[in-house]
Amino acid sequence: MTDALKVSGLWVDYRTKSAWASAVRGVDLAVREGEVVGVVGESGSGKSSVALAIMKLLPANARARGRVEVLGKDMVGLPSRDAHLYRGSGVTMIFQEPMTSLNPVMRVSEQLSEAVLSRVEHYKLEMFRSDSIAVPGGPDPRFSMPQARPAPPPKEAIQALRQVRIGDPERAAAKYPHELSGGERQRVMIAMSFLLRPRVLVADEPTTALDVTTQAQVLSLLLGLSKDEGTAIVFVSHDILVVGQVAQRVAVMYAGEIVEFGPTEAVLKNPLHPYTKGLIGSIPSGFKGGKRIEQIPGAPPDIMRLPSGCKFNPRCKFAMDRCRAEETALKELEDDHFVACHLY
């Protein structure tokens, strides 16, 4: 299987009054076609910055360094005015709060039609057919944008709504986003992804705002997208158990670095990094009066004041002198299971 997405040596820095603060520091990540890779971390771990860098959607006060290759083409070096060529059928994103990513004054059907048109335009450019990857510079996309919108919702849009199991898709298509429930809105976003047939989908906490029953439905739809369309999915979440449900491999991020990376089952059942162990240990389990859950002392570091050496050392119960002096790097300890820790 080829890598649909390959991130290497990615740094994301944010400009502050005095200096650049690095939220992501040297992340490597590869996602194969049809694979789901989870990125787990707490707030401030840099996981969302990785997602935005892949989408080329970082805010103006941020810069990305390194390489983000989608089907072999680097996106970091791509000028911003050409970025729309990649978004859509190349890479697409699902956000935590679907209300803010849908247009409130457009009917669902119109927004889905846009996705269809955008895909058609992308295919004209032949950029994202895996058999023929063209370089931008061919037909100028600014002159080939759609001229008019089709009035009735195309069959394809209705079909996509049916695919994401929205009851009565014709009625839902005629509605505005605010008339739908949170779960329905997230399903509309996924319907859009079905229509775009992206090579890479970045899902940033797509189920965090949803109830567990709706979450289960949305997770199964995303799995369907990766299986049926071969979409490579980067699933970003704070919840390692949710990631465990969908991802084949999982990366654990702490303070801007991947500290552990491996097959989901290995990471969940046999975590190696003390942070991963602590994360899994702090999941509530058992009944009242039973075993107390472990807690990681302290809080994640401020990226402006990172500790020297291993970034986890002030909270780690195994920390040695070497951890305070020397940076860590990912090492392969078992088959495909990497950890960045001086203990190993």
304 binds another protein (CB under 8 A): no
In this chain, which of 24, 164, 225, 246 binds another protein, going by CB under 8 A? 246
Could you tell me which of 129, 124, 136 has the C-alpha nearest to residue 84? 136
From the list 1, 299, 304, 325, which residue makes contact with another protein (rule: CB under 8 A)? 299
Calpha distance 299→5 (Å, rounded): 32
- With CB under 8 A as the contact rule, the residue among 265, 321, 332, 334 that binds another protein is 265
Which 29-48 residues touch another protein, going by CB under 8 A?
42-43
The closest of 337, 250, 253, 242 to 283, measured between CA atoms, is 242
State yes or no: residue 229 binds another protein (CB under 8 A). no
Question: Are the C-beta atoms of residues 38 and 246 closer than 8 Å to each other?
Answer: yes
Q: Which is nearer to another protein, 10 or 166 (CB)?
A: 166
Here's the x/- map for another protein, 165-184, by CB under 8 A: it reads as --x-------------xxxx
Cβ closer to another protein: 118 or 276?
276
Give me the helices (H) in the chain, please: 47-55, 98-101, 108-125, 155-163, 169-173, 182-196, 212-229, 240-246, 264-269, 274-281, 321-325
Check residue 305 for interaction with another protein (CB under 8 A): no
Structure tokens at 190: 């996924």
Choosing from 30, 83, 99, 223, the residue that interacts with another protein (CB under 8 A) is 223
Instruction: Tell me the sheet residues that pair with 263.
Output: 249
The 3-state secondary structure of 168-183, one letter per residue: CHHHHHCCCHHHCCHH
Q: Tell me whether residue 173 or residue 247 sits nearer to another protein (CB atom).
A: 247
Binding residues (CB under 8 A) for another protein: these are: 42-43, 167, 181-184, 211-217, 219-220, 223, 238-242, 244-246, 264-265, 268-269, 278-288, 292-296, 299-300
